[in-house]
Amino acid sequence: MKLSISTLGCPDWGFDRVVQAFEDLGVDIEVRGVDGEMEAGRIARFSPARAQETKALLAAHGRKIVGFGTSCKFHDPAAQEENIRAGWEAAEVCARMGIPALRVFGNDIPDKARAAETIAFACQGIRKVCERAADKGVQTLLEVHGDFNTVEAMRLVAQEMAGAPGFGILWDVEHSDKTCGDDFLPFYAAVRPLLRHVHIKDYHRGENGQFTLCPVGEGDIPLPEIVRTLLRDGYDGYFSLEWEKKWVPSLAEPEEVFPAFVRYMRAL
C-alpha cells in the first residue's frame, strides 16, 4: 500500500518540516501549497533557480512528490482560457520537478438539465491541458469534486475524455459519498478504468446533506470496504490523506491526525 499526505493538512509547516515529518511517517508528499503559496508558478522552491536544491532535499530524505493540486476549474466559459493557461503552467512546473501528475476540477454544473453540455465543455478545456502536460510526461487527473461526483457525470467524463493523453481520475471518497453513500460500488465501477489516485478522508453524515469532517475511521464513509475493494482489484496507486486544515483551521492538528492516518491505513 502506497501512502501520501497532502500539504493542505499542514498549511503552517515550511517545506523542510514537511519533508522531515513525512520521512518520519514513511509517506510521500502530495502538494497543495508550499510555504504558504498555492499556485505552481509562484512556489519559490520549484523555480528554475531552486529546483535542483529542492530535488536534492527530497532525495536526501527518500521522499517523492506524487502529485500537484491546482485550483483549475473548467466549468465556467468566462474563466476557461485562464484555467487552461494555469494548467499549462502547472504542467511546466511538474515536469521541472519530476512530479508525475497534476490535479484539476470539473467542477460545477449550475443547470442540471444541461449537465451533459457543461461536462463536455469542461472536458474540452481539460483535454487541452492533457495534451500539453502529456508532452512533458505529466498526467492530468480530474478530481471527483463539486457536481462532478455522480455515476452519470463520471460516465460522461469517460466518454468525452476517451483517448486524451495522460488523463485519469482522482477519486475523492468524500465527494462521491455525498451522492452514493454506502452503495459505492456502482460509482467505483464507473471510475475504475481511469482511476489513478485516491483521496482518503472521513466525515459524519448529517441531515439535509450536511456533514462534519473527522479523522479517518471515526466517521460514516465506508473506508474499510473501499480500501479493501481497491486492494483486492489490484489498485497500485496512492491513498492520500487530504486533511482540509487549510480551509477549516478548527480541525485537529496534523501532529495528531497524520500518524493516526498512517496507523489506520496500515491496519487495513
- The grid cell for 125 is 478545456
Residue 69's Cβ-side half-sphere holds a number of Cα atoms within 13 Å equal to 25
51/189 Cα distance (integer angstroms): 39
Note the pLDDT tens digit of each residue in 86-112.
Answer: 999 999 999 999 999 999 999 999 999
Quick one: which of 174, 173, 201 has its CA closest to 188?
173
Helices 15-25/51-60 angle, 10° precision: 30
Output the pLDDT for position 195: 98
Examine the pLDDT at 172 and tell me if it is beyond 90: yes
- In degrees rounded to 5, what are phi and psi of residue 171? -90, 110
Note the pLDDT tens digit of each residue in 252-266.
Answer: 999 999 999 999 999
- The count of other CB atoms within 10 Å of the CB of residue 208 is 4
Examine the pLDDT at 159 and tell me if it is beyond 90: yes
* Segment 47-50 long-range contacts (CB within 8 Å, at least 24 positions apart): 48/96
177 — pLDDT class (breaks 50, 70, 90): very high
208 — pLDDT class (breaks 50, 70, 90): confident
What mean pLDDT comes out for the span 194-198?
A: 98
Chain-wide mean pLDDT for the chain? 97
- The grid cell for 19 is 519533508
pTM of this structure: 0.96
What mean pLDDT comes out for the span 118-134?
A: 97
Output the pLDDT for position 169: 98
